[in-house]
């Protein structure tokens, strides 16, 4: 029995902001995947004028106007778009996730969380500031999974709002992955924190302690309320 599957391609007209929905008859089966569980029909629009190639050989067809809108890296690279695929230092799965975020398609927060380090690295490499901001925003949904890891990410990407969310989550984080007591912060825990954010934690703790009644223990909730990154 013929079934219909849905996929989205990047063939929207300039300025529309919406990908095009396609219906595909699968003759009773699912649409076949091409490596890493990625739909082989994804980003296959023949009218797209740029090809991006993942480290495992998958080629994605993307419109140059959209890539140029993402930042200076692609604007410079695509002054004269090459005919050959442009190698991208990322796996098929990571490149697909980044392209989905770039096209404002729904991306599962679980997948973004699982591959957050690789996605943000690619965003840094390709100067995709808007995509990185969307990834960091999605971290608010996962902050309870590993609040300290989220705080480290927030510090590395200078997101003070996300950092405060992570510090608030740390207040109930003992026993969870990454749960750390405020008075147990050691070298291993702080090595992934950008200096202005680490100084901000210590300054917030001191400020909260000064304001607290004698004998009252200061926790992460109080640190979050007083936290501000300190530039050096």
How do residues 69-81 score in pLDDT, each as one tens digit? 999 999 999 998 8
Q: How confident is the model at residue 38 (pLDDT cuts 50, 70, 90)?
A: low
pTM of the model: 0.73
Contacts 24+ apart (CB under 8 A), 69-72: 70/102, 70/126, 70/127, 70/128, 70/129, 70/130, 70/131, 71/126, 71/127, 71/128, 71/129, 71/130, 72/127
CA dihedral of residues 210, 213, 215, 221 (deg, nearest 10)? -70
- Among the candidates 103, 120, 142, a domain finishes at 142
- Among the candidates 118, 142, 166, a domain finishes at 142
Range(s) of the domain holding residue 209:
143-232
Asked whether residue 22 is assigned to any structural domain, the reply reads no
Higher pLDDT, 13 or 114: 114
Tell me the per-residue pLDDT of 80-96, one tens digit each, with 9 for 90 and over.
889 999 999 999 999 99
* CA separation for the pair 114, 16 (Å, rounded): 31
* CA separation for the pair 211, 23 (Å, rounded): 62
8 Å CB contact between 157 and 132:
yes
124 and 149 share a domain?
A: no
Q: How confident is the model at residue 215 (pLDDT cuts 50, 70, 90)?
A: low
Higher pLDDT, 38 or 31: 38
- Domain of residue 105, CATH code: 3.30.710.10
Task: Name the nearest CA neighbour of 146 among 173, 119, 184, 111.
Answer: 173
CA separation (Å) from 161 to 92, 112, 120, 133? 31, 19, 17, 12
pLDDT in the model for residue 37: 54
pLDDT in the model for residue 40: 67
116 and 154 share a domain?
A: no
- Among the candidates 110, 127, 142, a domain finishes at 142
154 and 100 share a domain?
A: no
């Amino acid at each position: 029995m013929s079934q219909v599957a849905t996929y989205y391609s990047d063939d929207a007209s300039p300025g529309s902001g919406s990908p095009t929905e396609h219906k595909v008859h699968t003759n009773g089966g699912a649409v076949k995947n091409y490596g890493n569980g990625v739909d082989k029909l994804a980003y296959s629009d023949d009218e797209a004028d740029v090809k991006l190639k993942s480290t495992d050989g998958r080629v994605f067809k993307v419109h140059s106007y959209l890539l140029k809108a993402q930042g200076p890296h692609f604007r410079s690279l695509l002054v004269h778009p090459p005919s050959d695929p442009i190698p991208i230092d990322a796996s098929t799965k990571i490149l697909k996730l980044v392209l989905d975020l770039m096209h404002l398609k729904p991306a599962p927060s679980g997948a973004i969380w699982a591959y957050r380090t690789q996605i943000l690295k690619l965003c840094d490499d390709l100067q995709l500031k808007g995509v990185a901001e969307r990834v960091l925003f999605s971290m608010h949904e996962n902050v309870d999974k590993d609040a300290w890891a989220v705080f480290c990410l927030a510090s590395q990407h200078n997101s003070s709002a996300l950092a405060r969310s992570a510090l608030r989550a740390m207040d109930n984080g003992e026993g969870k992955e990454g749960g750390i007591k405020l008075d147990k912060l050691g070298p291993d825990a702080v090595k992934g924190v950008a200096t202005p954010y680490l100084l901000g934690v210590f300054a917030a703790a001191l400020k909260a302690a000064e304001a607290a009644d004698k004998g009252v223990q200061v926790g992460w909730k109080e640190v979050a309320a007083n936290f501000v990154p300190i530039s050096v």
